[in-house]
């Protein structure tokens, strides 16, 4: 199993849970992953994937070099274009940089035993696919699309980024890699419908593989009263990891007085990165619009945002522009901490307009929370509007504000939808059951059927 990126996003969570659940289905995975930092750091692969057979590719030295993508091993590129970021967008890399990536990942996959593997499960479409095609042509590949690669491809196809000098070459490569896969895993019914035409893949080779949750970690353990207050005090006052435009963890700090809003009122929780498609400024604007109708303090906690990484308007800038109150940046935390944060909240909000799945929705539902999301792509297949949460039109601040108000002010409705969300999540999205479906795809790919 190959993951080019160091652990920081949803695909890393999928790789971790899937690799942990696969042995029960008869498959023994070795995970090759990028890594940043020392033991105990969030981006350190051996720490993040503890308990698994993981072969880490250390990017720490590359990040300290003048050109991280020219180092050996080179730092990974990105599907997102963030000026000044070390991980430059794939579509701006020339042939020489591409070949450098391929050579590095050929070496790393070979060292991990790829030539003797029954199959290669490669997350995203990256130069790892090229390495596999050249060096291990007889080993079947299962490709796993997580959505960010499709967003970059759409920008290239629609001509929105003429400044990407090598976009056309990367689009052709990604399509070639997808067509070479024995099977292509996608996250939702929506993706299963769109991917064959988008990538030129035979629909019969596309399999739906939704993300799931660890039922042992994500469960109803609600923090109320003093226990809830203590968690938010620890995260926001005693161990602050929120950050401003400086990118320094802990640069946003809160006083004891600011915690008053978190003690009693319903807490809304956003979890994820601060990228443009997530629409965090839209969420903050909707919160400001709804403020007069809440009737009581209704705080919004933003959990996540990798330090130094954001697109568009920074959340603090959106707060200032909108006049929103009671918005808290809790910073980037470990996955075990996410279960705590969910249990110290009352609803999950994800305004993202291009979410191929919506991992945090499933994890929030598993903790008994209703969810508010956009009626498009993956979230539309996860959330039953009116039953397990609220679905709103994309980029509709007024509709999002209305959903926030109903969720925050109708305690009975919020509790009922949370109970339904809990039942649905456990029936549909528990990792042990989902892993068996992936194992069946493996068996088919290996057999060539």
Q: Express each pLDDT in 193-227 by its tens digit.
A: 889 999 999 999 999 988 888 888 999 999 998 89
Confidence of residue 306 (pLDDT cuts 50, 70, 90): confident
Confidence of residue 428 (pLDDT cuts 50, 70, 90): confident
Task: Look at residue 186 in the predicted model and tell me its pLDDT.
Answer: 94
Task: Look at residue 168 in the predicted model and tell me its pLDDT.
Answer: 96
Other Cβ atoms within 10 Å of 295 Cβ, number: 11
Residues 94 and 197 in one domain: yes
Greater model confidence, 325 or 368 = 368
- How confident is the model over 138-159, as a mean pLDDT? 94
Task: Look at residue 83 in the predicted model and tell me its pLDDT.
Answer: 82
Lowest mean pLDDT among 58-67, 166-175, 283-292, 428-437: 428-437
Confirm if 182 and 448 have CB atoms less than 8 A apart.
Answer: yes
- Any domain includes 219: no
Residues 82 and 96 in one domain: yes
pLDDT of 61 over the 80 cut:
yes
Find the CATH number of the domain harbouring 155: 3.40.50.2000
What tens digit of pLDDT does each residue of 159-183 get?
A: 999 999 999 999 999 999 999 999 9
Task: Look at residue 427 in the predicted model and tell me its pLDDT.
Answer: 87
277: tokens are 């498609």
Residues 276 and 163 in one domain: no
Of the candidates 338, 430, 312, the one whose C-alpha atom is nearest the C-alpha of residue 42 is: 338
DSSP H helix total and E strand total for the chain: 18, 13
Strand, helix or coil for residue 11: helix
Residues 10 and 26 in one domain: yes
What tens digit of pLDDT does each residue of 354-383 get?
A: 887 888 999 999 999 999 999 988 899 899
Task: Kindly state the DSSP code that residue 211 receives in the 8-state scheme.
Answer: -
| Cα–Cα distance measured from residue 30 to residue 33, given in angstroms and rounded to the nearest whole number | 10
Q: How much of the chain exceeds pLDDT 70, in percent?
A: 100
**Exposure of 182 by Cβ count < 10 A (0-12 exposed, 13-18 middle, 19+ buried)?**
buried
Confidence of residue 248 (pLDDT cuts 50, 70, 90): confident
| Cα–Cα distance measured from residue 166 to residue 431, given in angstroms and rounded to the nearest whole number | 38
Number of domains in the chain: 2
Task: Look at residue 120 in the predicted model and tell me its pLDDT.
Answer: 98
Q: How much of the chain exceeds pLDDT 90, in percent?
A: 76
Show the domain range for 90.
2-212+431-447
- Any domain includes 14: yes
**In terms of DSSP H, where are the helices of 74-147?**
95-111, 127-135
| Cα–Cα distance measured from residue 1 to residue 124, given in angstroms and rounded to the nearest whole number | 11
Residues 193 and 243 in one domain: no
What does DSSP say about strands 2-3 and 31-35: parallel, antiparallel, or unpaired?
A: parallel
Tally of CA atoms within 13 A in the half-sphere of 23 that contains its CB = 11
Phi, psi (degrees; rounded to nearest 5) at 33 = -140, 150
Work out the end-to-end distance of the chain between its first and last CA atoms, rounded to an integer number of angstroms.
21
- How confident is the model over 222-234, as a mean pLDDT? 92
Residues 40 and 121 in one domain: yes
| Cα–Cα distance measured from residue 401 to residue 277, given in angstroms and rounded to the nearest whole number | 18
- Any domain includes 234: yes
| Cα–Cα distance measured from residue 153 to residue 171, given in angstroms and rounded to the nearest whole number | 6
Phi, psi (degrees; rounded to nearest 5) at 355 = -90, 115
Confirm if 42 and 151 have CB atoms less than 8 A apart.
Answer: no
- Any domain includes 152: yes
Confidence of residue 408 (pLDDT cuts 50, 70, 90): very high
Residues 188 and 274 in one domain: no
Residues 198 and 255 in one domain: no
Task: Look at residue 267 in the predicted model and tell me its pLDDT.
Answer: 96
- Any domain includes 438: yes
| Cα–Cα distance measured from residue 170 to residue 149, given in angstroms and rounded to the nearest whole number | 11
Residues 235 and 374 in one domain: yes
- Any domain includes 345: yes
Lowest mean pLDDT among 76-90, 99-113, 119-133: 76-90
Task: Look at residue 9 in the predicted model and tell me its pLDDT.
Answer: 79
Residues 259 and 394 in one domain: yes
The label of the residue with tokens 């809304």 reads 268
The alpha carbon dihedral of 78, 79, 84, 85 has a sign of: negative
Task: Look at residue 303 in the predicted model and tell me its pLDDT.
Answer: 94
What tens digit of pLDDT does each residue of 9-53 get?
A: 789 989 999 999 999 999 999 999 999 999 999 899 999 999 999
pLDDT of 307 over the 80 cut:
no
- How confident is the model over 104-121, as a mean pLDDT? 98
**Strand order across the 371-374 sheet:** 327-331, 300-304, 268-272, 347-350, 371-374, 389-392
Confidence of residue 243 (pLDDT cuts 50, 70, 90): confident
- How confident is the model over 189-195, as a mean pLDDT? 88
- CA 116 vs CA 1, 29, 326: distances in Å: 13, 12, 55
pLDDT of 351 over the 90 cut:
yes
- Averaged confidence pLDDT in the chain: 93
Greater model confidence, 142 or 84 = 142
Residues 68 and 166 in one domain: yes
Confidence of residue 84 (pLDDT cuts 50, 70, 90): confident
- Any domain includes 290: yes
Task: Look at residue 310 in the predicted model and tell me its pLDDT.
Answer: 85
Task: Look at residue 398 in the predicted model and tell me its pLDDT.
Answer: 97
């Amino acid at each position: 199993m190959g993951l080019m990126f160091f652990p920081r996003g949803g695909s890393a969570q999928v790789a971790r849970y899937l690799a942990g659940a696969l042995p029960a289905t008869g498959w023994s995975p070795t995970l090759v992953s990028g890594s940043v930092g020392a033991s105990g750091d969030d981006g350190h692969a051996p720490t993040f994937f503890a308990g698994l057979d993981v072969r880490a590719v250390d990017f720490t030295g590359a990040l300290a070099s003048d050109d991280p993508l020219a180092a050996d091993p080179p730092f990974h590129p990105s599907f997102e274009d963030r000026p000044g970021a070390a991980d430059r967008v794939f579509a701006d890399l020339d042939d020489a940089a591409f070949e450098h990536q391929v050579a590095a990942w050929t070496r790393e996959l070979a060292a991990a035993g790829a030539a003797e593997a029954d199959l290669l499960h490669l997350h995203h479409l990256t130069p790892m696919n090229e390495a596999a095609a050249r060096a291990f042509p007889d080993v079947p590949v299962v490709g796993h699309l997580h959505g960010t690669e499709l967003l970059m491809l759409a920008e290239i196809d629609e001509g929105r980024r003429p400044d990407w000098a090598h976009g056309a070459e990367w689009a052709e490569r990604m399509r070639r890699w997808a067509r070479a896969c024995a099977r292509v895993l996608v996250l939702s019914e929506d993706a299963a419908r769109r991917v064959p035409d988008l990538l030129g893949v035979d629909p019969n080779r596309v399999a739906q593989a939704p993300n799931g949750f660890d039922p042992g970690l994500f469960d109803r353990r609600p923090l109320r009263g003093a226990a809830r207050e203590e968690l938010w005090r620890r995260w926001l006052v005693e161990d602050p990891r929120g950050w401003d435009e400086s990118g320094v963890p802990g640069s946003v700090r809160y006083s004891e007085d600011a915690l008053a809003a978190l003690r009693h009122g319903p807490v809304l929780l956003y979890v994820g990165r601060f990228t443009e498609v997530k629409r965090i400024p839209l969420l903050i604007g909707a919160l400001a619009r709804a403020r007069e109708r809440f009737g009581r303090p209704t705080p919004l906690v933003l959990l996540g945002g990798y330090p130094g990484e954001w697109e568009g308007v920074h959340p603090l800038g959106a707060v200032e522009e909108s006049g929103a109150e009671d918005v808290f940046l809790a910073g980037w935390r470990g996955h075990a901490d996410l279960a705590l944060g969910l249990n110290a909240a009352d609803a999950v909000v994800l305004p993202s307009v291009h979410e191929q799945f919506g991992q945090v929705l499933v994890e929030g539902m598993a903790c008994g929370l209703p969810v508010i999301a956009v009626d498009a792509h993956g979230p539309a297949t996860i959330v039953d509007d009116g039953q397990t949460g609220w679905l709103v039109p994309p980029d509709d601040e007024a509709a999002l504000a209305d959903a926030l108000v109903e969720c925050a002010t109708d305690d009975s409705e919020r509790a009922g939808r949370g109970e339904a969300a809990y039942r649905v999540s456990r029936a549909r999205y528990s990792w042990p059951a989902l892993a068996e479906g992936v194992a069946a795809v493996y068996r088919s790919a290996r057999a060539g059927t």
